[in-house]
Chain A
Amino acid sequence: MSVTVAARTAERSVPAPRVATLTLAITETRILVRSVTLWASALVTVALGTVWGWTRMPTWDTIGDNAGMAAVVLAGVLLVLGHLAVSRDHRNGVVEATMVLPAERARRTIALLVFIPVAGLLGALVLGAQLALLLPDVPAGTFDGWNLAPVVLIPPIGAALGVAVGRWLPAIAAGPLTVVTSAVAVIVLPGVGTGGSDVGRWLSPVLLRQNWAPGAPEPTGWHAAYLLALLAVVVAVAVARYRMVVSTVVAVVAVALGAVAVPQQMRHRTGSSSLPITEAMMDDYVGPAVLRCEEHEAVRYCALPGYQRWIPLWRDAVEPVARAVPAGVAGVLPVVRQRDTAYFAPSATAQTPTVDTDLVWGRHGTWAAQSRLDLVQRYVRALTALPKPTADDPYGEQSCSGAGQLRTVVALWLIAQAVPDGRTVLDGNQARLGRLTAGPAEIAAAVTLLDQPRERVTAILAAHWDAVISAAPVGDTLEPLGVRGLAAVGAEQATPCR
Chain B
Amino acid sequence: MTTVRIAGLGKHFGSTVALDGVDLEIGTGLTGFLGPNGAGKTTLLRCLATALAPDRGRLDILGHDPALATQRTALRRRLGYLPQNPGLYPNFTAFALLDYVAVLKELTDRRERHREVRRVLEEVQLSDRAGTKIRKLSGGMRQRVALAQALLGNPDLLILDEPTVGLDPEQRMSFRALISRLGESRTVLLSTHQTEDVGALCERVVVMRGGRAVFDGTPLALAGLAVDRVWLSAQPPSGSRAYWRTADGRYRTLGERPDGGEATVPSIEDGYLTLLGPVAVGAPR
Q: Which residues of A contact B49 (CB under 8 A)?
A: 100
Give the contacts of A86-106 with B (CB-CB under 8 A). 88, 91-104
Given A1-B28, A88-B89: A96 touches B106 (CB 8 Å cut-off): no
Flag A142-180 by CB within 8 Å of B: 1 or 0 each: 000000000000000000000000000000000000000
- Select from chain B the residue with minimum beta-carbon distance to A95: B87
**Which of B78-86, B119-127, B167-175 is the contact stretch?**
B78-86
Task: Indicate whether A104 sits within 8 Å of B73 (C-beta atoms), given known contacts A31-B100, A93-B87.
Answer: yes
Among B88, B105, B108, B186, contact of A94 (Cβ-Cβ < 8 Å): B88
Which of A2, A5, A94, A102 touches B87 (beta carbons < 8 Å)? A94
Complex interface residues of chain B between 41 and 66 (CB less than 8 A to chain A): 46, 49-51, 62
Do A9 and B156 touch (CB < 8 A)? yes
Chain B contacts for A2, CB-based, 8 A? 1, 28
Interface centre among B1, B85, B88, B108 (most CB of A within 10 A): B108
Residues facing B in A32-86 (CB within 8 A) are none
- Interface pick from A17-25, A202-210, A421-429: A17-25
Q: Given the complex, which residues of A lie within 8 Å of B27, measured CB to CB?
A: 1
Q: Check A15 for interface membership: any CB of B closer than 8 A.
A: yes
Residue B149 interfacial (CB < 8 Å): yes
Contacting residue for B105 out of A8, A88, A103, CB 8 A? A103
A23/B81 in contact, CB under 8 A: no
Given contacts A12-B153, A14-B77, A27-B99, contact A98 B104 (CB under 8 A): yes
Q: Is A366 an interface residue (CB 8 A)?
A: no
A278: Cβ under 8 A from any B Cβ: no
Which B residues are in CB contact (< 8 Å) with A104? 73
User: What's the minimum C-beta distance from B188 to chain A, rounded to whole angstroms?
Assistant: 12
Tell me whether chain B's interface is mostly helix, strand or loop, or mixed. Answer: loop
Rounded to whole angstroms, the CA-CA distance of A88 and B92 in the bound complex is 12
**B76 on interface, CB distance cutoff 8 Å:** yes
Interface presence of A4 (CB below 8 A): yes
Q: Which residues of B contact A95 (CB under 8 A)?
A: 87
**Is the CB–CB distance between A103 and B103 below 8 Å?**
yes
Determine whether B260 belongs to the interface, using a CB cutoff of 8 Å to chain A: no
B185 within 8 A of A: yes
Q: Which of B78, B87, B108 contacts A20 (CB 8 A)?
A: B108
Is the Cβ of B77 less than 8 Å from the Cβ of A97?
no
When the two chains form their complex, are residues A102 and B108 in contact, meaning their CB atoms are under 8 A apart? no
With A27-B100, A31-B100 given, is the CB distance from A97 to B76 under 8 Å?
Answer: no
Judge whether B278 is part of the interface by a CB distance below 8 angstroms. no
Cα A75 to Cα B284 in complex, Å, equals: 61
Q: How far is the CA of A99 from the CA of B50 in the complex (A)?
A: 8
Q: Interface residue count for A (Cβ, 8 Å)?
A: 31
Q: Are B50 and A27 in contact (CB under 8 A)?
A: no
Which of chain B's residues has its CB closest to A88's CB?
B89
Contact residues in B for A20 (Cβ distance below 8 Å): 106, 108
Inter-chain contact A4/B51, CB cutoff 8 Å: no
Q: How many residues of B contact A (CB 8 A)?
A: 42
Q: Tell me the smallest distance from the CB of B26 to a CB of chain A, in Å.
A: 13
Asked if residues A102 and B105 are in contact (CB atoms below 8 Å), the reply is yes
CB of A8 within 8 A of CB of B88, answer: no
- Indicate whether A100 sits within 8 Å of B76 (C-beta atoms), given known contacts A8-B154, A15-B106, A94-B87: yes
Cβ contacts under 8 Å, B153 to chain A: 12
Any A CB within 8 A of the CB of B90: yes
Q: B residues 212-268 with Cβ under 8 Å of A?
A: none
Of A2, A15, A96, chain B has the most CB atoms within 10 Å of the CB of A96
Instruction: State the CA gap A14–B90 with chains docked (Å).
Output: 30
**Which residues of chain B are near A97, meaning CB under 8 Å?**
81-83, 86-87, 101, 146, 149
In the assembled complex, B3 has its CB within 8 A of some CB on chain A: yes
B81: A residues at CB distance < 8 A: 96-97, 100
* Nearest neighbor of B134 in chain A, beta-carbon distance: A92
Contact across chains for B77 and A23 when beta carbons are under 8 A apart: no
Q: Cα distance A14–B3 when bound, in Å?
A: 20
Measured in the bound complex, the distance between the Cα atoms of B92 and A31 in whole Å is: 9
Partner of B156, one of A8, A101, A103: A8
What residue of chain A has the Cβ atom nearest to residue B150's Cβ?
A97
Chain B min CB distance to A28 (Å): 9
| 0/1 string, B174-206, CB within 8 A of A gives 1 | 000000000001100000000000000000000
With both chains docked as a complex, state the minimum distance between the C-beta of B68 and any C-beta of chain A, in angstroms: 14
**Contact at B77–A102, with CB atoms within 8 Å?**
yes
B90 and A103 within 8 A (CB): no
The answer to whether A100 touches B50, judged by C-beta atoms less than 8 angstroms apart, is yes
Chain A residue, CB-CB nearest to B28: A1
| A24 / chain B contacts, CB cutoff of 8 Å | 103-104
Complex A-B: 8 CB contacts under 8 Å: A1-B1, A1-B29, A5-B185, A23-B110, A100-B50, A100-B79, A101-B101, A102-B76
5 new A-B contacts at CB < 8 Å, known A14-B77, A91-B89, A103-B106? A1-B27, A5-B156, A9-B62, A92-B90, A93-B86
Closest 3 CB pairs of A and B: A93-B87, A94-B87, A2-B1
Residues of B at the A interface (CB closer than 8 Å) are 1, 3, 27-29, 46, 49-51, 62, 73-74, 76-79, 81-83, 85-90, 96, 99-101, 103-106, 108, 110, 146, 149, 153-154, 156, 185-186
